[in-house]
Amino acid sequence: MNSRLIEPGATLGVMGGGQLGRMFVHAAQRMGYFTAVLDPDPDSPAGRVSHHHVQTGYLDERGLAQLADCCAAITTEFENVPAPALSVLAQRRPVAPGAGAVAIAQDRWREKAHFMQCGVACAPYALIETQQQLESVEDALLPGILKTARLGYDGKGQQRIQTRQQLAAAWDELQRVPCVLEQMLALVAECSVVVARGADGAMVHLPPQLNLHRGGILAVTQVGAGVIPDDRVRLAIQATEAIAAGLDYVGVLCVEFFVLGDGSLVVNEMAPRPHNSGHWSMDGCDVSQFELQVRTLAGLPLTAPRQHSPTVMLNLLGDLWFEGCVERSPPWAAVLQLPGTHLHLYGKLSARPGRKMGHLNVTGASLEQARSTALAAAAILGIEPF
Ligand code: ATP
Ligand code: MG
């Protein structure tokens, strides 16, 4: 008997009300759970579809108590949820992932130390917290990317650096907060792996995803036989499993990798939650990453996900809502006329350039078919071909 089993009919909670929380809520509700979301925004995408919505800050004692009162277990949907809030909740309820794992993922320096401990290579890097560390950076790290150690996402808090002079100016611009300088690598591709790990240590994974980023934001994900060479696939899965096991992780974890010119694989970063690059699983796989999150949280069994359709995912950013300066709704009817298109919109009330508004999953009988339909959809929407 699994002592952690939480049966449908109970309430599952999530810290954060963004799109990932919304898709978790949908998956939990479909399986017969009630849901509660903690997010201060009354219009948050997840708050608006959840049975309960606690509208307080993430560290508000009353809010946290209210969430713990109504939930049998609690998860998180964004990595910047304060780790102390998870520790407070964990005194009363099972919390997955745990505060310790989230705290490591929140800090690029600790994250890289963990990767190395697990024997997984990352880009050469240096910590910059002091003037002395800034001055003693090795030449080999330039050109590089300066990244804030904490609170970065979608390429925010990052600056590309060519010279020492630029490095000093960029660190000033980032208010001299703790940063990591990474050597700029020549990438031939990027990929990611989503794993789910139960409290008993059982692990399953989605097939690795090939990702295309534009301007530091994920633009396109493709999943199908041959998109990533088989030996890289094995390595990426092994590395991701080692990283999850090393954290004694419970929940869904995504690890992003760079593929270099010589075929070697280098880890970029991890997200302690479902990930944008795993959204294809909602339509291309028999178990989505959000169902995996529900299963790990509720102590339900994990079965190996089976991809049933080659899938291409297009991210739908707020830019698509503008024709020049005029805001409009993108031509959904024309897109949905294409067979195999599945539209997911997050219910955000206003569009802004770069804001993640939704995604379009395109499934096909073959990867070629999914790709050609996705390219047709991209042309209709005004997304650059890939
Ligand atoms: P998110 O959390 O949304 O994935 P982020 O802000 O944490 O993004 P990173 O994943 O660190 O950003 O970087 C964003 C993108 O910038 C990467 O996917 C990659 O395309 C590029 N990039 C980052 N670091 C390097 C590097 N060392 N060398 C080459 N390209 C890089
Ligand atoms: Mg990233």
pLDDT over 70, % of the chain? 98
Ligand that comes closest to the CA of residue 219: 1
Give pTM, 2 decimals.
0.95
Distance 215 CA to ligand 1 centre (A): 9
DSSP alpha helix (H) spans, 225-366: 230-246, 281-284, 289-298, 332-336
CATH code given to domain 11-95: 3.40.50.20
DSSP 128: E
User: Which neighbouring-strand residues pair with 128?
Assistant: 179
Task: Pick the closest to residue 206 from 216, 217, 218, 191 (CA basis).
Answer: 191
Please, what is the average pLDDT of the chain? 95
The burial of 125, by beta-carbon neighbours within 10 Å (0-12 exposed, 13-18 middle, 19 or more buried), is given as: middle
The CA-atom distances, in angstroms, between 191 and each of 216, 221, 245, 277, 309 are 14, 9, 20, 9, 18
**b (16+ CB within 10 A) / e for 245-256:** ebbebbbbbbbb
Q: Hey, which of 181, 214, 258 would you mutate to test ligand 1's pocket, going by the most ligand atoms within 8 Å of its Cβ? A: 258
Q: Give strand pairing partners of 211.
A: 190, 221
- Residue given tokens 């999850």 in the structure block: 244
- Nearest-CA residue for atom 4 of ligand 1: 154
d(CA 241, CA 23): 24
The torsion angles phi and psi of 282, rounded to 5 degrees, stand at -65, -25
Task: State whether CATH 3.30.470.20 applies to domain 187-381.
Answer: yes
What lines the ligand 1 site, CB under 6 Å? 123, 145, 147, 152-156, 158, 182, 184-185, 187, 190, 213, 216, 256, 268-269
Kindly give the parts of the chain with pLDDT less than 50: 1
Q: Mapped to the 3 state alphabet, what secondary structure does 187-219 carry?
A: EEEEEEEEEEECCCCCEEECCCEEEEEECCEEE
Does domain 124-183 sit in CATH 3.40.250.10? no
The ranges assigned to domains in the chain are 11-95, 124-183, 187-381
CA gyration radius for the chain?
21
**Residue 24 is which amino acid?**
F
The pair phi, psi for residue 242, each rounded to 5°, is -65, -40
Res 1: pLDDT: 40
Query: How far is Cα 191 from Cα 280, in angstroms, rounded to an integer?
Result: 14
Q: For residue 374, what are its two tokens? A: 């996705």
- pLDDT for residue 214: 95
Domain 124-183 in the same topology as domain 11-95? no
Helix H or strand E encompassing 87: helix 83-90
- Residue 340: CA atoms inside 13 Å, Cβ hemisphere, count? 25
Identify which of 148, 158, 356 to mutate to test ligand 1's pocket (most ligand atoms within 8 A of the CB): 158
- Say how many Å lie between the CA of residue 72 and the centre of ligand 2: 31
Instruction: Compute CA 52 distance to the chain's CA centroid, rounded to the nearest angstrom.
Output: 24
Taking alpha carbons only, the member of 304, 111, 341, 310 closest to residue 228 is 310
Residue 85 has a pLDDT of: 94
Could you report the per-residue pLDDT of 20-49, keeping only the tens digit for each? Answer: 999 999 999 999 999 999 999 999 999 999
198-215 confidence digits (pLDDT tens): 999 999 999 999 999 998
